[in-house]
Chains A and B, each alone.
Chain A
Amino acid sequence: MHTQVLDQVAGPAEVTPVVEFHGVSKWYGNVIGLNKLTLRIRPGVTGLLGPNGAGKSTLLQLATGQLRPSQGSVRVLGRTVWNNARLNRSIGLCPEQDAFYEWMTGWEFVLTCVRLSGLGRRDAREAAARTIDAVGMTQHRGRAIRGYSKGMRQRIKLAQALVHEPEVVFLDEPLTGTDPVARRDLSEIIRRLGSEGKSVLVSSHVLHEVESLTPNIVLLNRGRLVAEGHVRQIRDLIDKHPHHIVLVCDDYRRLASRVLAWEDVEGVRVLASEKGLMVETRAPDAFYGRLPALSLEDGLAITAVYSDDDNLEAVFKYLVTK
């Protein structure tokens, strides 16, 4: 599997990366979490994509100094992360796990977290109030966390990551399990962080979530970097490789013989149960362009045409299974 390194959209090449992984491997006994990962994440919002077990959480735990790399080096803001507690003043982490001091109220939790960051009492109270308001939890801040909904828990978890105004924020699956309203609000907060000049690395295994937050993405699979760059370029990338287009037609066998004659078609699979064909082509635009004529001239009534390759999910599937 080769890494697809695409042009970045964050800025010119000389921009100092906020997060740097250089030849990083992380082993858990015989299990590999990350495999010789070299990655430079630039300022702005970056999406970290990958299926479950891809190494996203390992990457974030390495980037926040919770784990020590087995091999290689991890730097954030130009400084080594491992055993550098001082750096945590500039880092915010919203962990994936749904773990809290359940007996605390949301207010106490955020206040405790900002006090743990070293702020004095008055500054801490102001920061906690401001951040809780920013995540839309002011109304519920006096309630015990154990009574919060999933969306509220995600919001308050995000608040503790932001309350000390870090320069770099790491968000591990922040939208998981949230309702549409919370999802919209949290997405808006993340986008706002980017527009305020913060650097945000947000992980997800749901591609459209990340696509709505940023065009700048990093794809991981099985501990390896699969691709990094702009969503658009990843879309372009797939055009260089076979598209899968499904054609539904009663006379699908005759249709198969017709499309197989086209040079850009690399393969056809019969989908008998759907009365259709799965066509593999390297020139999807040209293929789509010929379809109307096929119907008109040969009388092949194509009742449906669709492709799974039109969204980022398909790009992702293609890249990680390649």
Chain B
Amino acid sequence: MTSATSLAAAEETRGATAGRLPRGSRASAFWTLYTLTLRQHAHGRRWLVMGLLFLLPVGLAILVRSTAPDVPAIGLEFVLAHMFVPQALLPIVALLYASGLVEDEQEEQTITYLVSRPIPRWAIYSLKLLATLTTTVMIAAVFTGLTYAAIYIGADARGENVPLRCLTSASIHALALVAYCSLFGLMSLLTRRILVVGVLYTAIVEGLLANLPFGIRLVTVIYYARLITYRTMEFLVPLPRDRTENIAADAWQFDVASDPQLAEHPQLATCVAVLVVGSVVCTMLAAWLCAGREFHVKTPEKD
């Protein structure tokens, strides 16, 4: 037997007998990592911060309802659930969670326990992102429900199907969160100052550029989220003499006077596809980056 053959035979034998324990599936390892990340989120303090932030629209709704009862509920819904939350809260939530996807484990030096297991690095990133999406979407859904409750309980809903509107809002928020988390997750692998970069991105790109009536807003998440909202929900506020006005078009710089159907803007399916495909592309890029990344853990001698 040649040395090469004997080495191959040895490796084969080694592979067959590697460890004496019965081997479970990769799915078992993946599920454990997913649940581990969820538990980490539950034990962290981030969700408390998130809860407090998300209580802002709830508190504002209660405040407005109690001090200005004439404000139409649908107007309040638009301002809080479709302006304030997607513009301010969702990017912050996504940034705070996605920035720590891998960074937290590295900072706390527990990443060693993950990379020394038979789980590829790309899977570590993807599963942690998936768990992060689960957490953020759950938080957003619960507090969207609370916001709607604060706006509509006891208010004149004017025949609106409030539960359906709430469900639609929560779904749009979830989609936006998926996009934001995927984007910020990718950014977190490209820069060490993800919080600074993320805040700047949110302020400049999602805040400033998205509000300009130019093509540049097509590169923002919020633009597609708004378009989906506009195409699936109505925000008709009653005006004097039985007239109504769609406050969303004006607020979001949609020129409905010359293009009532927004034919020059992407259709609903396109908007959803852009956010989903964009998220998948960001995730794949980040997973690819992660696959080739070293996770250097500080040791006392290097501190």
Contact = CB atoms under 8 A, between A and B. Distances in A.
A113 B36 CA distance: 10
A79 B116 contact: no
Contact of B110 (A66, A99, A117): A99
A206 to B, nearest CB: 13
Contact of A117 (B118, B121, B295): B118
Interface in B1-59: 7, 10-11, 14, 18-26, 28-29, 32-33, 36, 40, 43
A85 B21 contact: no
Contact of A85 (B18, B119, B300): B119
A85 B23 CA distance: 15
Contacts of A120: 22, 24-25, 28
Contact of A113 (B113, B120, B291, B297): B113
Interface stretch (A88-96, A223-231, A272-280, A282-290): A88-96
B259 interface: no
Interface in A108-127: 112-113, 115-121, 123-124, 127
A52 B28 CA distance: 39
A172 B23 CA distance: 26
Given A90-B18, A90-B19, A53 B43 contact: no
B264 interface: no
Contacts of B120: 83, 85
A57 interface: yes
Interface string B109-123: 110111111111100
A211 interface: no
Given A66-B296, A115-B29, A101 B110 contact: yes
A187 to B, nearest CB: 21
A67 B293 CA distance: 8
Contacts of A38: none
A300 to B, nearest CB: 46
Nearest to B293: A68
B127 to A, nearest CB: 11
Contact of A118 (B28, B114, B115, B292): B28
Contacts of B23: 89, 118-119
Interface in A77-108: 77-79, 83, 85-93, 95-97, 99-101, 103
Contact of B116 (A53, A88, A112, A115): A88
B296 A123 contact: no
Contact of A119 (B22, B40, B296, B302): B22
Contact of B21 (A16, A92, A127): A127
Interface stretch (A158-166, A213-221, A258-266): A158-166
A116 B29 contact: yes
Contact of B294 (A66, A88, A113, A123): A66
Given A116-B32, A167-B19, A88 B113 contact: no
A119 B115 contact: no
B258 interface: no
A117 B117 contact: yes
A178 interface: no
Contacts of B18: 89-90, 167
Nearest to B115: A66
The 10 closest A-B pairs by CB, nearest first: A99-B109, A120-B24, A115-B32, A52-B301, A116-B117, A93-B116, A57-B299, A118-B29, A88-B118, A97-B109
Given A53-B302, A93-B112, A123-B21, 4 more contacts: A85-B117, A85-B118, A99-B110, A116-B33
